[in-house]
């Protein structure tokens, strides 16, 4: 019997607590959230995926209910953490679905551990171009750690969340972007969370934009089924990044959800589920033999 809500669990990895949510049975889908977010960003699509799959959604280190240690918050470190999580839970391989920062982590994982990756799904992903929202670029500036406590404690973010919620109720999907950004910054009220956020952000963003551009390495995913999902109205990372990546790798699939912003899994969960499940059903997982032959 499939539970209607994910189970909240945690595992200790190298002395640190990693929180995650899990539900369903079958082949594994691992969902990776973006910066200042947590596993809750997948709550509208997890039940649908869990009808046919084991769905695992961790809170990345420094996020949500996971520990916020001093240490490495690079893409490579996050990829290693996800590998260790899979192994700790007794799973050998998975389809990886990464949103925003999580897309960059998913790509890094596929480069570091191709034998563990069956498919790659990038949702409004970072790492595919330089453009990113002005707010994130500003947060990467030297000295921003002095401003973040004031921002997190201000009523401005509460107002942003309320306005975003109102826009959503009026059917203006861009409100989700504003609401989620405000909610994310409200998580930065303590020093450990702010430090983890800044370490994570500055690993991938500087005042000029995104520091890491993986487009010149997309060819490494040619033997890996790849799906790009993007919100047409994304106000944080433009849909042009998804279209350009698809042109570079014609074997990939691209689905642009016209009524979505940066969070299509929240804006249009039914369409998101349909696109993702069709992709999984219609593609064969990358086999270890194929990956070995390509190396």
Point out the residues that are catalytic: 100, 234, 262
Looking at the DSSP bridge assignments, the partners of residue 30 are: 56, 96
Q: Following DSSP, what letter does each residue of the chain receive, concatenated?
A: ---SSPEEEEEEETTEEEEEEEE--SSEEEEE--TT--GGGGTTTHHHHHTTSEEEEE--TTSTTS---SS--SHHHHHHHHHHHHHHTT---EEEEEETHHHHHHHHHHHH-GGGEEEEEEES-SSS-S---HHHHHHTSTTHHHHHHHHHHSHHHHHHHHHHHHHHHTT-THHHHHHHHHHHHTT--SHHHHHHHHHHHHHHEETTEES---GGGGGGGTTS-EEEEEETT-SSS-HHHHHHHHHH-TTSEEEEETT--S-HHHHSHHHHHHHHHHHHHHSPPPPHHHHHHH-
Which sign does the torsion angle of CA 58, 60, 65, 67 carry? positive
CA distance 142 to 74: 18
Looking at the DSSP bridge assignments, the partners of residue 275 are: none
CA distance 20 to 57: 5
């Amino acid at each position: 019997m499939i539970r209607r809500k994910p189970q909240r669990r945690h595992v200790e990895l190298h002395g640190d607590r990693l929180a995650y949510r899990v539900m369903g049975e079958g082949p594994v889908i691992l969902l990776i959230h973006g910066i200042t977010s947590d596993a809750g960003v997948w709550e509208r699509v997890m039940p649908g995926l869990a009808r046919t799959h084991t769905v695992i959604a961790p809170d990345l280190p420094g996020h949500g209910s996971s520990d916020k240690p001093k240490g490495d918050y690079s893409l490579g470190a996050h990829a290693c953490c996800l590998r260790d999580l899979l192994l700790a839970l007794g799973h050998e391989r998975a389809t990886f679905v990464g949103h925003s920062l999580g897309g960059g982590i998913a790509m890094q994982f596929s480069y570091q551990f191709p034998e563990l990756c069956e498919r790659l799904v990038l949702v409004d992903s970072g790492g595919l171009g330089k453009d990113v929202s002005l707010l994130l670029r500003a947060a990467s500036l030297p000295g921003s750690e002095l401003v973040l406590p004031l921002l997190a404690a201000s009523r401005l973010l509460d107002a942003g969340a309320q306005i975003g919620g109102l826009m959503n109720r009026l059917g203006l999907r861009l409100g989700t972007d504003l609401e989620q950004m405000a909610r994310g910054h409200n998580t930065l009220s303590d020093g450990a969370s702010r430090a983890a956020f800044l370490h994570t952000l500055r690993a991938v963003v500087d005042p000029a934009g995104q520091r890491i551009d993986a487009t010149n390495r997309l060819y490494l995913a040619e033997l890996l089924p790849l799906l790009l999902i993007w919100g047409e109205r994304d106000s944080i990372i433009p849909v042009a990044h998804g279209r350009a990546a698809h042109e570079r790798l014609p074997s990939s699939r691209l689905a642009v959800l016209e009524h979505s912003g940066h969070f299509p899994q929240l804006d249009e969960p039914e369409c998101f589920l349909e696109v993702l499940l069709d992709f999984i059903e219609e593609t064969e997982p990358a086999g270890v033999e194929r990956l070995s032959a390509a190396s």
